[in-house]
């Protein structure tokens, strides 16, 4: 009997272990938490949102101390970030690197119990739109941060990495096996890869099938998704590619392998799909893409070259209405949640769907719209709409967007309202000359939402301080150059 009992216990233990392993796989997808918003949710609300949705790792673009503090004792693993603008200083100034680690890593690990696992040095510093600005400073900054982590005794606990855009490598054919690092930056890439490898650090890459579609009108749309029903898959010496993500990821695997780093750990730092601002950016496509991706990750399924589980971070958690739209109007709509923490669509993580943010405090239910007496022909119309859009967010207007069905009056109202809400419903923000008026009737129609902003520290301090949405241009252009010549 005893023997039976202990055998049962053993089986029970093994089942528990199996369950834990399964749970671990299910919760394997992290998210990016960016903060370029005019009305960000309070940090604690976002951390609760992460926890309620079972997100166990988060990637940041800086090391903001309020953000990190809010993540303290949350059990959520953190990748903290160093913006590109700091690379130059950190590349030459060892003391600056030590200060960065002391203030932005050590302090949070010890006094706030923040589980920092990675430091991302720069963000897509080799992007071609930067014209090489950060190429010389990235490696020395990486080396100085790593040295500072070693000096602080943290180098086994906290790993460095550099999130790179997928155009640092390319393939001369459609086959991933012909992949290699881009020739113009090959030497710089090899130095970085060697340094990461020597220090047991991962390679981080951002991969964007949406951009493939956005930048190439002939791109076969089904190849962007994970439905496995793309009619003409790539056959790379017996490895079958039915989606561009796998093909892109394996192009990197081949590039690493060809240069002697076939075993290097890869993290997908950003992957996702926007929901507005472009004809292909909508909730339906975003759900199709993100659900397809998450289901694979949850099943522990990788690519033909790396079939096992993957380490990934969705881009992104929440919409950011102050991001530069230089890459495109979709840039402010990458969130799986709207700016206020409401889910845009359902996404099943294992068994549960998405849970909305709790305790969100909205401004009053009022909107700024075109006055009934106003005429669309007035000389003030064009300058007013330009002004409103330049200082607010009109990325939901235009061809193929959520508000593309509005008429001229609707367009004008949308622009006025966006300006009014972003400026915290100040009376002076709804005074477009003889054109605007406020209303308590929601002008939203269908998918076209005339949003009301939320209270922030600035609004609760009296609403006087206008929020500046002109943030420094932080280009997150996701250039994607998997050479695609099928068709």
The residues assigned a catalytic role are: 124, 270
- In whole angstroms, what is the distance from residue 210 CA to residue 213 CA? 5
Q: Which two tokens stand for residue 197?
A: 């490898």
Show the binding pattern over residues 225-264: x = contacts ligand NAG (CB under 6 A), - = does not.
-------------------------------------xx-
- In whole angstroms, what is the distance from residue 19 CA to residue 26 CA? 10
**Touching ligand NAG, residues 369-428 (CB under 6 A):** 380, 397-398, 407-408, 411
Q: Is the CB of 207 or the CB of 388 nearer to ligand NAG? A: 388
Is 30:59 a contact under the CB 8 Å cutoff? yes
Q: Is 41 in the site for ligand NAG (CB under 6 A)?
A: no
**Residue matched to tokens 């099928």:** 486
- In whole angstroms, what is the distance from residue 257 CA to residue 17 CA? 34
Q: Is 62 in the site for ligand NAG (CB under 6 A)?
A: yes
Question: Nearest approach, Cβ of 379 to ligand NAG (angstroms)?
Answer: 8
Give the list of residues 6+ apart from residue 470 with CB closer than 8 angstroms, or none: none
- In whole angstroms, what is the distance from residue 78 CA to residue 47 CA? 12
Q: Is the CB of 224 or the CB of 264 nearer to ligand NAG? A: 264
Helices (H) and strands (E) in the chain, counts: 14, 15
Helix, strand, coil shares, percent, the chain, to 5: 40, 15, 45
Q: Is 99 in the site for ligand NAG (CB under 6 A)?
A: yes
**Residue matched to tokens 């008429």:** 407
Question: Nearest approach, Cβ of 318 to ligand NAG (angstroms)?
Answer: 18
Residue 71 backbone dihedrals phi, psi, to 5 degrees: -85, -5
Q: Is the CB of 220 or the CB of 398 nearer to ligand NAG? A: 398
Applying CB under 6 A, among 54, 107, 130, 356 the residue interacting with ligand NAG is: 130
Q: Is the CB of 71 or the CB of 397 nearer to ligand NAG? A: 397
Q: Is 440 exposed, middle or buried (0-12, 13-18, 19+ CB in 10 A)?
A: exposed
Is 348:292 a contact under the CB 8 Å cutoff? no
Q: Is 444 in the site for ligand NAG (CB under 6 A)?
A: no
Applying CB under 6 A, the span of 130-138, 236-244, 332-340, 344-352 interacting with ligand NAG comes to: 130-138
**Residue matched to tokens 């991962």:** 202
For the chain, state the CA radius of gyration: 24
Q: Is 66 in the site for ligand NAG (CB under 6 A)?
A: no
Question: Nearest approach, Cβ of 410 to ligand NAG (angstroms)?
Answer: 8
Q: Is 300 in the site for ligand NAG (CB under 6 A)?
A: no
Q: Is 95 in the site for ligand NAG (CB under 6 A)?
A: no
Q: Is the CB of 76 or the CB of 371 nearer to ligand NAG? A: 371
Q: In what order do the strands lie in the sheet with 29-33?
A: 159-161, 115-121, 77-82, 57-60, 29-33, 311-314, 266-271, 203-206, 163-165
Q: Is 63 in the site for ligand NAG (CB under 6 A)?
A: yes
Applying CB under 6 A, among 9, 12, 21, 103 the residue interacting with ligand NAG is: 103
Q: Is the CB of 99 or the CB of 172 nearer to ligand NAG? A: 99
| Contact residues: ligand NAG, CB under 6 A | 62-64, 99-100, 103-104, 130-131, 133, 262-263, 380, 397-398, 407-408, 411, 433-434
């Amino acid at each position: 009997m005893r023997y039976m009992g202990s055998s049962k216990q053993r089986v029970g233990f093994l089942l528990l272990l199996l369950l834990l392993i399964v749970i671990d796989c299910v919760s394997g997808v992290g998210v990016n938490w960016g903060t370029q918003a005019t009305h960000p949710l309070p940090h604690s609300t976002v951390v609760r949102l992460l926890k309620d949705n079972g997100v166990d790792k988060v990637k940041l673009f800086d090391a903001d101390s309020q953000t990190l503090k809010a993540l303290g004792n949350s059990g959520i693993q953190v990748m903290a970030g160093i913006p590109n603008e700091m690379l130059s200083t950190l590349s030459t100034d060892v003391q600056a690197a030590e200060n960065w680690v002391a203030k932005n890593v050590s302090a949070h690990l010890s006094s706030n119990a923040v589980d920092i696992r990675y430091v991302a040095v720069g963000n897509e510093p080799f992007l071609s739109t930067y014209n090489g600005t950060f190429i010389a400073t990235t490696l020395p900054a990486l080396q100085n941060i790593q040295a500072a982590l070693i000096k602080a005794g943290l180098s086994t606990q906290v790993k460095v990495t550099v999130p790179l855009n997928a155009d640092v490598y390319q393939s001369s054919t459609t086959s991933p096996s012909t992949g290699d690092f881009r020739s113009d930056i090959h030497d710089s890439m090899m130095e970085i890869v060697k340094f990461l490898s020597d220090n047991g650090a991962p390679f981080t890459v951002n991969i964007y099938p949406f951009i493939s579609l956005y930048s190439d009108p002939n791109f076969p749309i089904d190849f962007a998704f994970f439905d496995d029903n793309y009619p003409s898959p790539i056959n790379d010496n017996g490895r079958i590619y039915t989606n561009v993500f796998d093909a892109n990821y394996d192009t990197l695997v081949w590039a690493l392998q060809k240069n002697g780093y076939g075993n290097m750990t890869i993290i997908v730092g950003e992957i996702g799909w926007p929901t507005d601002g472009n004809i292909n950016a909508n909730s339906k496509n975003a759900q199709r893409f993100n659900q397809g991706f998450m289901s694979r990750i949850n099943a522990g399924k990788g690519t033909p070259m790396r079939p096992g589980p993957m380490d990934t971070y969705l881009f992104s958690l929440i919409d950011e209405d102050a991001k530069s739209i230089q890459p495109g109007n979709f840039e402010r709509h990458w969130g799986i949640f709207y700016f206020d923490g409401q889910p845009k669509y359902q996404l099943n993580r294992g068994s549960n769907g998405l849970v909305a943010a709790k305790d969100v405090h909205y401004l009053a239910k009022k909107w700024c719209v075109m006055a009934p007496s106003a005429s669309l022909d007035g000389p003030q119309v064009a300058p007013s709409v330009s002004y409103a859009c330049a200082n607010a967010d009109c990325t939901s207007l235009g061809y193929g967007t959520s508000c593309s069905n509005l008429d001229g009056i609707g367009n004008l109202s949308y622009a006025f309202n966006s300006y009014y809400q972003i400026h915290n419903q100040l009376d002076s923000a709804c005074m477009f000359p003889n054109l605007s008026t406020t209303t308590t009737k929601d002008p939203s129609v269908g998918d076209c939402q005339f949003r009301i902003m939320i209270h922030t520290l600035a609004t609760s301090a009296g609403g006087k301080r206008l929020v500046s949405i002109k943030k420094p241009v932080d280009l997150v252009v996701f250039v994607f150059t998997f050479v695609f010549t099928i068709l």
